[in-house]
């Protein structure tokens, strides 16, 4: 009984915070401010910290498979919420398709960024022997005809036009989590039934959002690469705006999955006008 009370209190507070219009309208601005001023934290953080090593457990366990963790928890929450309300598999799959669209967009952009880096970059071999160069930087010899993968596999250096895929992924996941979880607050206000499994999944999503924000700040503070990280964050924010603030507002159809909560945040199942009005008032800006 005590644990269930704690779970209800924590999830209610988190749902109220994430469903607040102030948070929804300004969260992307907070991420933008972090991208702009986060590298300045490098002046205060210790380079001897455990988070200053790329081999840290959090980087290896979560950052390299960030999209997988996001899909598992957000997908489970979205499916359980939608199916428990309407008992409609097609409606649940429609809401889950937003994750598929975002995943396809992320993979497509990563592929394009790899092609761009291969097209604009060059491979360099550090010259270690034979010359005594009085410089802090090693002498580099250009190696033509090498791809990025072949260059790095051979232990050489690749210099090209880079966009941080890690920051791109973290920004996209943070904004996606905030959008998908924002429906839980209005749902509870409407008196929706929420049992322990749904609340636990929601709490896991909240913790995952906090972890992504923390890892983003760690990357900016301990591994500052201002131009590439700023471009990655901008690409993530633009992807979110194009999907959730653009395409998904067109309404559900064969080519559009619709906004989060559409078809769920209403008390009458046979009135689309009531549904859209309730959704606009409680969830959408």
Distance of CA 183 to the CA centre of its chain: 17
**Whether 95 and 196 share a structural domain:** yes
Residue 61 placed within a domain: yes
Q: Whole-angstrom Cα distance, residue 133 to residue 64?
A: 38
Mean predicted confidence (pLDDT) in 54-62 = 90
* Percent of the chain scoring above 70 in pLDDT: 86
List pLDDT tens digits, range 119-139: 888 888 777 654 444 445 555
**Whether 84 and 142 share a structural domain:** no
Length of the chain measured in residues:
285
Supply the pLDDT for residue 284. Answer: 45
* pLDDT, mean over the chain: 85
Residue 143 lies in domain = 122-159
**Whether 130 and 225 share a structural domain:** no
Residue 247 placed within a domain: no
Residue 47 placed within a domain: no
Q: Where residue 141 falls among pLDDT bands split at 50, 70, 90?
A: low
Structural domains of the chain, count = 2
Residue 150 placed within a domain: yes
**Whether 229 and 155 share a structural domain:** no
Q: Which of 188, 175, 173 is nearest to 14 (CA)?
A: 188
Q: Which residues of 184-206 are buried (b: 16+ CB within 10 A; e: fewer)?
A: bbbbbeeebebeeebbebbbbbb
Q: Whole-angstrom Cα distance, residue 285 to residue 282?
A: 9
Q: Whole-angstrom Cα distance, residue 23 to residue 205?
A: 16
> Does residue 214 have a pLDDT over 70?
yes
> Does residue 37 have a pLDDT over 90?
yes
**Whether 81 and 29 share a structural domain:** yes
In this structure, what DSSP letter does residue 116 have?
H
List pLDDT tens digits, range 146-204: 777 778 787 788 877 788 999 999 999 999 999 999 999 989 888 877 889 999 999 99
**Whether 108 and 220 share a structural domain:** yes
Q: Where residue 275 falls among pLDDT bands split at 50, 70, 90?
A: very low
DSSP code string of 40-109: GGGGTS-TTSGGGSTTSHHIIIIITTHHHHHHHHHHHHHHHHHHHHH--HHHHHHHHHHHHHHHHHHHHH
> Does residue 66 have a pLDDT over 60?
yes
Residue 267 placed within a domain: no
In this structure, what DSSP letter does residue 245 have?
T
| pTM (2 d.p.) | 0.85
Q: Whole-angstrom Cα distance, residue 237 to residue 27?
A: 11
**Whether 36 and 69 share a structural domain:** yes
Q: Whole-angstrom Cα distance, residue 161 to residue 169?
A: 18
Residue 254 placed within a domain: no
Count CB-CB contacts under 10 A for residue 222.
19
């Amino acid at each position: 009984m005590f644990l269930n009370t704690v779970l209800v209190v924590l999830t209610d507070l988190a749902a109220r915070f994430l469903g607040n219009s102030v948070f929804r309208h300004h969260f992307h601005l907070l991420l933008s401010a972090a991208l702009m001023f986060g590298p300045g934290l490098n002046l205060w953080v210790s380079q001897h910290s455990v988070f200053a090593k790329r081999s840290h457990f959090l980087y290896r366990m979560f950052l390299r498979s960030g999209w997988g963790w996001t899909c598992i928890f957000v997908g489970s929450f979205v499916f359980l919420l939608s199916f428990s309300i309407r008992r409609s598999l097609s409606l649940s799959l429609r809401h889950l398709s937003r994750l598929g669209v975002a995943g396809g967009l992320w993979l497509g952009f990563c592929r394009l960024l790899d092609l761009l880096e291969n097209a604009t970059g060059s491979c360099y071999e550090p010259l270690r022997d034979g010359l005594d160069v009085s410089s802090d930087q090693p002498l580099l010899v250009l190696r033509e005809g090498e791809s990025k993968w072949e260059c790095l596999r051979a232990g050489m250096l690749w210099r090209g036009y880079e966009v941080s895929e890690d920051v791109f992924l973290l920004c996209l996941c943070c904004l996606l989590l905030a959008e998908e979880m924002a429906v839980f607050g209005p749902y509870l206000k409407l008196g929706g039934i929420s049992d322990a499994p749904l609340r636990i999944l929601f709490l896991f999503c909240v913790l995952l959002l906090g972890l992504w924000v923390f890892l983003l700040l760690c990357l900016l503070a301990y591994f500052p690469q201002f131009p590439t990280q700023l471009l990655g964050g901008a690409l993530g924010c633009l992807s979110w705006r194009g999907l959730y603030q653009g395409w998904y507002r067109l309404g559900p159809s064969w080519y559009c999955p619709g906004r989060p909560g559409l078809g769920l945040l209403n008390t009458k199942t046979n009135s689309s006008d009531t549904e859209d009005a309730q959704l606009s008032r409680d969830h959408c800006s």
